[in-house]
Amino acid sequence: MPFDPHPTPRNRDLADRQAIGWWLLGIAFMIWVMVALGGATRLTGSGLSIMEWAPISGMLPPLSQTEWERLYELYRTIPQYQIVNQGFGLEGFKQIFWLEWLHRLWGRLIGLAFALPLAWFWLRGRIPSGLKPRLLLLFLLGGAQGAVGWFMVASGFEADRTAVSPYRLVVHLGLALLLYGVVLWTAMGLFRPGRDAPPHPSGLRRLAHGTAGLVVLAMLAGGFTAGIHAGFAYNTFPLMEGRLIPDGYAQLSPFIHNFTANIAAVQFNHRFLATLAACGAVGAAFWGAAALPASFARTSLLALGWVVALQYALGVATLLLVVPAWLGTLHQTVAVAVLTATLAALHGLRRPRQT
């Protein structure tokens, strides 16, 4: 937008919306990176290497040999060291420490990148009417995410545990995805305040919403798959040990425990939900390509079809190769791209307001 020395209220409001929109897109990107770092931290077993929650002083890494040795001695007291990493030495500890430290530092940087511009926009009166409560809620949820992250990590220090609680892992992942989704949705609303969906069959909108629900369920099921290391079993596709539904699917009692604690059931459910989501996304992409004119909605549906197909292929490859850390991290990273395309499609298909 060219510089206007005497902007009208309408032009000033548009400029403010775009400025805040770009800021929120930057925050969304940082959260995306955070999710990727979280995946790498989990897959490399780095998440339990820092046993202290120090929001301020923890921004600095150890600056002396004495401090390194103190943190290493703390780590040697937990089951992960005693069962998995015993004897790997200070140098081995440093390798897992740095990734977890970067993960936590990035979270702090997200907090600063949100709080400082928020204060600047607020004090200058540049936040559009009605947006302040949502931005404050996002700030509070971001702070809560830090506390939830420590709550998750602390579960890994318990007796006989070498990893964090899968339930707390899913809560932490789910809150991160919720934050990302609300930030991205808010940014899209600032750039596209009008509901300009082209005429289309109502069934397409229902299919898109149903697919979005399946995408979210598949991602949460993926969290439990990661949390109980279910990806290291049944490394064949499409059958699981020669069966469509694996033997032992319902072996736990009560039955509901199978959905979160039974490796066979958790992995099958993730596969099943991902397959349904992929079918829905590809179907919506073909339907949108045939029924919609060139528009944001059509482009978003096509992007959804392509990125879901890519994610499905990555998921199969991750399984068949028995979850190499780099591929597992890529799979978790592309999951956020799936969520991005899903939200863009829903935003493009919003039902016009009644006048």
User: How many whole angstroms separate alpha carbon 347 and alpha carbon 53?
Assistant: 38
The CA-based angle 40-42-45, given to 5 degrees, is 105
User: How many whole angstroms separate alpha carbon 223 and alpha carbon 221?
Assistant: 5
- Best CA proximity match to 27, nearest among 113, 138, 99: 113
User: How many whole angstroms separate alpha carbon 197 and alpha carbon 293?
Assistant: 10
- Which amino acid, residue 232? F
229 annotated to a ligand binding site? no
Contacts for 282 with CB less than 8 Å, ≥ 6 apart: 305, 308, 309
HEC string of 267-301 equals HHHHHHHHHHHHHHHHHHHHHHHHHCCCCHHHHHH
Those residues of the chain that have pLDDT short of 70 are 1-10, 196-198, 200, 353-355
Residue 10 has a pLDDT of: 66
CB atoms within 10 A of CB 223: 23
Tell me: the pLDDT tens digits for 63-78?
Answer: 999 999 999 999 999 9
Would you give the DSSP letter of residue 60? S
103 annotated to a ligand binding site? no
Residue 1 has a pLDDT of: 45
Residue 126 has a pLDDT of: 92
Write down the pTM of the prediction.
0.93
Tell me: the pLDDT tens digits for 246-262?
Answer: 999 999 999 999 999 99
